[in-house]
Amino acid sequence: MLVNLSIQNFALIDDVSVSFSNGFTTITGETGAGKSILLGGLSMVLGKRADLSSLKNKEQKCVIEAEFDISKYQLYPFFEENDLDYEHTTILRREILPSGKSRAFVNDSPVTLDVMRALGDQLVDVHSQHQTMRLTENDFQMKVLDALSNNNDNISRYTEELDKLKIASSELHKMEDFQTTADKEHDYNSFLLKELEDAKLKEGMQEALEAEYEQLSNVEQIMEQLSTGHQLLSDEQLGIVGRLTDLKRAFQNLSDFGTEYKSLSDRIQSVLIETDDISSELEQLKDGVEANPEQLEVVNGQLQQLYDLQKKHHTDTVSDLIAIREELAKKVDAVANIESNIKEKRKEVEAITKKVDVWANKISAGRKSVIPRLKETLQKNLTSLGMPSASFNIEVSPSKSFKVNGKDDLTFLFSANKGSNYGELKKVASGGELSRIMLTIKSILAVYENLPTMMFDEIDTGVSGEISNRMGEIMQQMSENMQVFSITHLPQVASKGSYQFKVYKEEGPEGTSTHIKQLNMDERVKELAEMLGGKSLSESALAHAKELLQ
């Protein structure tokens, strides 16, 4: 409930702070006194957009604070979800700076306007002419049926399954789209994959083939150089091996004459062994080298295949070709398995659809079951509000598709006069009739839903006498379950409030300003008498005012 409202530097308001209690509160005042300004200030702190024109003094900031007792609203999850400190007494604050910049706070934590608006929607329901038109909207009408049929749990379960269905259906559509596209590319991808698989790609193969190609292409030069090398080493007369053998013999005789000669002799022995080994290896290589044009052609073909594949796939390494081959294999495999995957996903979609249908049917059954009771209550209450011939034709029928709140189409038709044809509310009901219908529906919802604070802005416009008296009684009854405010011009409604506030203007040296104050009993009598008979305050008006308050 709204505990306190503080407004500074807003429109015609300099500084106003007012506290409220539970129950039914009426707000009165002359036309133009600023009742709408007060409501406008509250709307700002509930998330309505603001601009610089909201400031009374353009050089000072506007500050609006609203304090709420939210202990009965089960709002802890909202605070947790938005990373806000939860307090049973919560303060919403809005600041509008002279620069035009606006800031919003919840319990002193800065929040976005969307978060403030979402919280405000759960704290105060401001009923205006615009809000009355919601009565003509199908989703609001459906919400009434759901509240009366206690469909909240069913709708929650339905929504859970519907979300799963949307996800599964989206995945199925993606699979089907992929299949359509993939079928066109499958043959080409398979051809590319076979080319790469036939190449038997391995890491390092290009370097090995290029080395082998160089050897096979230069076999004559290799043989010639090997032969020359072997001859230089092994020639019987001038070969290096033979000369080193003679050198070894010469130094063997010196080995016994000192360690330095022994060391030198050992080094010559090592050189001789290494040189002889090189000679042997050269001979083996020479004997193993031979021209092989067939192998040269094979190697050349393999290299050319590699070069062609690299050119086709815009790369210059075998590693990249292997990665491309693996990616193509995945695509080809995905197409090969897509049909079975689609079948499985379709089964999943069908199974979830059946679950959604089950909950949709439960929701529909609940709605249909409360229609007779809703029609009876509406027609009974509207009779007391001066609409004795009002009647409704309400029907729920299956829809062709799932909606956010079920699988129903709703027909909500109205007739104000006996014998008249039924028609849509927005087409056949006047503004005054819509206001009375909305008040009746809100009074019904107050019994079945934990509605927030209700603020009625001149819902009694266009009615008078006994009808306005009955409207006041309905709001008074609603206040047994919730906090109710009514901004009104009618004394019959104003008198029903447990508390009455008056909005008034005063002219001072610096201009006109709006104020609000709570009226005591004597002030209420005077205010109601003025509403009944004007400023003259006749004895009959005063007596009538006292009678209304009793």
Write out 97-124 in H/E/C secondary structure: CCCCCEEEEECCEEECHHHHHHHHHCCE
Q: Which two tokens stand for residue 74?
A: 């089960």
Instruction: Please state the φ and ψ torsions of residue 13, each to the nearest 5 degrees.
Output: -95, 125
Reported confidence tier of residue 268, pLDDT bands at 50, 70, 90: confident
pLDDT digits (tens, 9 = 90+) for 387-421: 999 999 999 999 999 999 999 999 999 998 888 89
End-to-end CA distance of the chain: 27
- Compute the distance between CA of residue 328 and CA of residue 319 in angstroms, rounded to an integer: 14
pLDDT recorded at residue 459: 84
Instruction: Please state the φ and ψ torsions of residue 502, each to the nearest 5 degrees.
Output: -115, 130
Average pLDDT of the segment spanning 185-206: 83
Reference 161, options 356, 361, 346, 345; nearest CA is: 356
pLDDT digits (tens, 9 = 90+) for 372-383: 999 999 999 999
- Compute the distance between CA of residue 442 and CA of residue 275 in angstroms, rounded to an integer: 111
Question: In the predicted model, what is the mean pLDDT of the chain?
Answer: 87
Q: Which two tokens stand for residue 405?
A: 């709140």
pLDDT recorded at residue 128: 73
pLDDT recorded at residue 129: 62
Write out 209-223 in H/E/C secondary structure: HHHHHHHHHCHHHHH
Other CB atoms within a 10 A radius of the CB of residue 156 amount to 10
pLDDT recorded at residue 338: 80
Above 90 in pLDDT, residue 339?
Answer: no
Average pLDDT of the segment spanning 92-100: 91
Reference 384, options 467, 320, 297, 447; nearest CA is: 467
pLDDT recorded at residue 70: 92
Above 90 in pLDDT, residue 207?
Answer: no
Q: Report percent pLDDT > 90 for the chain.
A: 40
Average pLDDT of the segment spanning 213-235: 77
Reference 377, options 424, 441, 426; nearest CA is: 441
Above 80 in pLDDT, residue 465?
Answer: no
- Compute the distance between CA of residue 185 and CA of residue 326 in angstroms, rounded to an integer: 16
Above 70 in pLDDT, residue 257?
Answer: yes
Q: Report percent pLDDT > 70 for the chain.
A: 98
pLDDT recorded at residue 130: 62
Dihedral sign from CA coordinates of 157, 162, 168, 171: negative
pLDDT recorded at residue 301: 84
pLDDT recorded at residue 131: 66
Is residue 464 within 8 Å of 158, Cβ to Cβ? no
pLDDT recorded at residue 288: 65
Above 70 in pLDDT, residue 428?
Answer: yes
pLDDT recorded at residue 367: 95
Average pLDDT of the segment spanning 246-271: 80
pTM for the whole structure: 0.67
Above 80 in pLDDT, residue 49?
Answer: yes
CATH class for domain 1-123+452-519?
alpha beta
pLDDT digits (tens, 9 = 90+) for 77-87: 999 999 999 99
Instruction: Enumerate the H helices of 26-137 as residue ranges.
Output: 35-45, 76-81, 113-121, 129-132
- Compute the distance between CA of residue 374 and CA of residue 380 in angstroms, rounded to an integer: 10
Instruction: Please state the φ and ψ torsions of residue 37, each to the nearest 5 degrees.
Output: -65, -40
Domains of the chain, by residue range, sit at 1-123+452-519, 178-337
**Residue type for 205, please?**
M
pLDDT recorded at residue 384: 87
Average pLDDT of the segment spanning 34-39: 82
